[in-house]
Structure 1
Amino acid sequence: MSTTTSNPPISNEVALRIALAVRVLPEISLTELIEALQDNVGEVLNEAALSRITVTNLKTAFGQTYDLDGEEEGEDANAGDIAALKEAVRILWGAKDEAEALPTIEPYQDGEMPHSVRIAVASNNRELLDGHFGSCLRYLVYQLSATTLKLIDIRSALEADLSDDRNGFRINLIRDCHVVYIVSIGGPAAAKVVQAGIYPMKLIEGGEARAILTDLQTVIATAPPPWMAKVLGIAEGDRVKNYKAIEAS
């Protein structure tokens, strides 16, 4: 299936529901779940469409995978599978734990933060850096200067799995960013990211996104490397000559 359609993109809320639902369906891939949803409610996936999904819909789509056919009277071997489908439907309808809620996007207008950079953070949960470039659920996008840090957007990467060029899809999502933080990235993907003019920063241990970016603010305020100083619009004569470059883990 290709993403070259005129359908509107999946919203952050819908993407979150689908991503959480697939976690409780261990035998089902993200692509399989999206295709099952589209088969039942149409190509456009929005909150109204998800509210029409039923356990029967999912049983029909995944019955063979979950061996749900022909259950004998008194046999409860499939009870766990039915429970998983019910939980998935509950999540698709909008019920989710508070801990899974997305962080709040802060108001921002282009140009309001002079000498700032735009940073993407590969994330799967809350406001954490915990994602691989090629498989994270979303990118948290921050505008960052030496004194100010704002979360200005959250971009779902859910549809990347339906694209003919998954890495290209992800790069296009963050093409306006100067830096992307990831816990891991493959060599070919890293080369494409660099070619797109985005600087990959690998932190294997991950962590709280804001804490990591606060450390970056310190670097910006004290000794930005030349490439970052150029992005920030700091004149060459004003740059600190002796700096410690940011190193990828």
Structure 2
Amino acid sequence: MSQSTLTRELALRIGLAARALPDTPPKLFISVLRACTGPVLNDKSLAELGETQFRQALNNFGIAADADSICESLNILQNAEAKRPEADSPLLPETASSIRIAIGSDDPQTVSGHFGSCRQFLVYQIAADDARLIDVRSIDSEAQRQHDDKNVYRAELIADCRVLYIASIGGPAAAKIIKYGIHPVKADQGEAITQIIKQLQIVLAHAPPPWLAKSMGIQPVQRICFEQES
């Protein structure tokens, strides 16, 4: 497939994605993409390109880049902003019977990615009988690069959340988000977000465990009453 068959918009994205990587001419970058997608290079084939496959192809062509640059390049390729899910409205009010959670995700349907490399956090307000997506917080690669600590930058992004569901997180990063009062919960890679919400709602409808009750701001006396009523 020749570059001339690309749409103008896609050709522009490919050029910008190549610029996000160090010392990567567009012609070489297209060779990398062809190695990933095969003969068909279009929006659909790029949307299906995973970060691991992309990283491996770059290595095979001798392109050395850090994780942030690779993530930024893939975001540009896949037009991540266009795929950004919209938050629900109106907001579900914060009460003692609801909790705000963040889910690390590279797509709107499943848990995916490592805490240090996922492209966005989906923020939900969850109650036993309601759940709202209230915000989508995308990683600003430039802001993250300028921050003294990448993990602290990400923790600050979700500092108003009490629980983080993530497929993978290292010990030092987990310790940092705990300092912000966020409880990390490991989810399976590819687990459906709807399933996570459903399971959490079942817990909220009954007696939440002490760590969750504490995260919700339920005082000890309230927790006892809550458990007796349930």
- TM-score of the aligned structures, taking structure 2 as reference length: 0.62
Verify the 8 A CA contact 2:102 2:165 in the aligned structure 1. yes
How far does residue 218 in structure 1 lie from its aligned partner after superposition?
0.2
Distance of 1:173 and 1:239 partners within structure 2: 31
Partner in structure 2 of residue 24 of structure 1: none
Q: Select which of 169, 174, 177 maps to 1:190.
A: 174
Partner in structure 2 of residue 140 of structure 1: 122
Question: Gaps spanning 5+ residues in structure 1: where?
Answer: 1-49, 69-76, 244-249
Number of positions where the alignment pairs a residue of Structure 1 with one of Structure 2 = 181
Partner in structure 1 of residue 97 of structure 2: 115
Distance of 2:135 and 2:19 partners within structure 1: 37
Do residues 221 (structure 1) and 205 (structure 2) align? yes
Q: Mark the CA change 1:198 to 1:148 in structure 2 (over 3 Å): closer, same or farther.
A: same
Q: Work out the percentage of aligned pairs sharing the same amino acid.
A: 36
Do residues 240 (structure 1) and 227 (structure 2) align? yes
Distance of 2:190 and 2:167 partners within structure 1: 6
Verify the 8 A CA contact 1:121 1:139 in the aligned structure 2. yes
Verify the 8 A CA contact 1:121 1:141 in the aligned structure 2. yes
Verify the 8 A CA contact 1:121 1:181 in the aligned structure 2. yes
Verify the 8 A CA contact 2:18 2:26 in the aligned structure 1. no
Larger radius of gyration: 1
Partner in structure 2 of residue 65 of structure 1: 24
Q: Select which of 107, 120, 123 maps to 1:125.
A: 107
Q: Mark the CA change 1:58 to 1:229 in structure 2 (over 3 Å): closer, same or farther.
A: closer
Question: Gaps spanning 5+ residues in structure 2: where?
Answer: 1-8, 36-40, 48-72
Verify the 8 A CA contact 1:66 1:81 in the aligned structure 2. no
Distance of 1:239 and 1:224 partners within structure 2: 9
User: Comparing both structures, which one devotes a greater share of its residues to helix?
Assistant: 2
Verify the 8 A CA contact 1:122 1:138 in the aligned structure 2. yes
1:193-239 Cα distance to aligned partner (Å, 9 max, x none): 11110000011344111211111110111120123224153713313
1:1-249 matches, within 5 Å, as: 64-66=23-25, 68=27, 80=31, 101-109=83-91, 111=93, 115-159=97-141, 161-162=144-145, 163-230=147-214, 231=216, 233=218, 235-240=222-227
- TM-score of the aligned structures, taking structure 1 as reference length: 0.58
How far does residue 164 in structure 1 lie from its aligned partner after superposition?
2.7
Q: Mark the CA change 1:161 to 1:142 in structure 2 (over 3 Å): closer, same or farther.
A: same
How far does residue 183 in structure 1 lie from its aligned partner after superposition?
0.6
Q: Mark the CA change 1:80 to 1:142 in structure 2 (over 3 Å): closer, same or farther.
A: same
1:97-122 Cα distance to aligned partner (Å, 9 max, x none): 99x83333101346366621000000
Q: RMSD over aligned Cα, in angstroms? A: 4.1
Distance of 1:156 and 1:222 partners within structure 2: 33
